[in-house]
Amino acid sequence: YYMLGFDTQAGILKHYRVDKMTEIQILDLPREGNEQFQRLDLAVYSRKVFSMFGGEEEMVRLRFENQLIGVVMDRFGKDVSVFPKPDGFFEIYTKVALSPQFYGWVFALGEGARILSPEKAVRGMKEQLCNVCKYYTEEE
């Protein structure tokens, strides 16, 4: 589990692993970062991040086999717009944080999922695949 907190020095929201926290204290001080939390829609935020790892946010176009509709709804919510395509596929457009965890999620769906755009996201997926693939193609 993760706690979403405000890092005053960096001026940004960060994720903190609850199981790693020690010597926790409640202080009688005003909360810092309140403005950031007031502007945050947690439901939207949680659909964009993968395993609490952030990254550069991008609007992506993804293509899935129809059988993965439940997986997609679980990940992005029931409000995501679904565009049926021929040959047993559908597409969605959604904002995600580009990160190794996002690419790993897509990879875990195998041939049933594909990043279509933007090119930056497609290139990121290719780089992740190439980086991992070299560990399984080199002779030791």
pLDDT of residue 48: 54
- Asked if 85 and 126 sit in the same domain, the reply is yes
pLDDT of residue 140: 56
Q: What is the pLDDT of residues 4-55, one digit of tens each?
A: 778 888 887 776 777 777 888 888 988 888 777 777 777 666 655 554 445 6
Tell me which of 83 and 52 has the higher pLDDT: 83
- Asked if 126 and 69 sit in the same domain, the reply is yes
- Asked if 110 and 85 sit in the same domain, the reply is yes
- Asked if 85 and 31 sit in the same domain, the reply is no
- Asked if 82 and 33 sit in the same domain, the reply is no
Q: How many domains does the chain fold into? A: 2
The 113-117 sheet, strands edge to edge: 82-85, 89-98, 56-65, 113-117
- Asked if 36 and 99 sit in the same domain, the reply is no
Q: What is the pLDDT of residues 126-138, one digit of tens each?
A: 999 999 988 888 6
- Asked if 66 and 123 sit in the same domain, the reply is yes
- Asked if 23 and 79 sit in the same domain, the reply is no
The residue range of the domain holding 55 is 45-137
Measured between alpha carbons, how far is 105 from 112 in angstroms, rounded to an integer?
A: 12
- Asked if 89 and 28 sit in the same domain, the reply is no
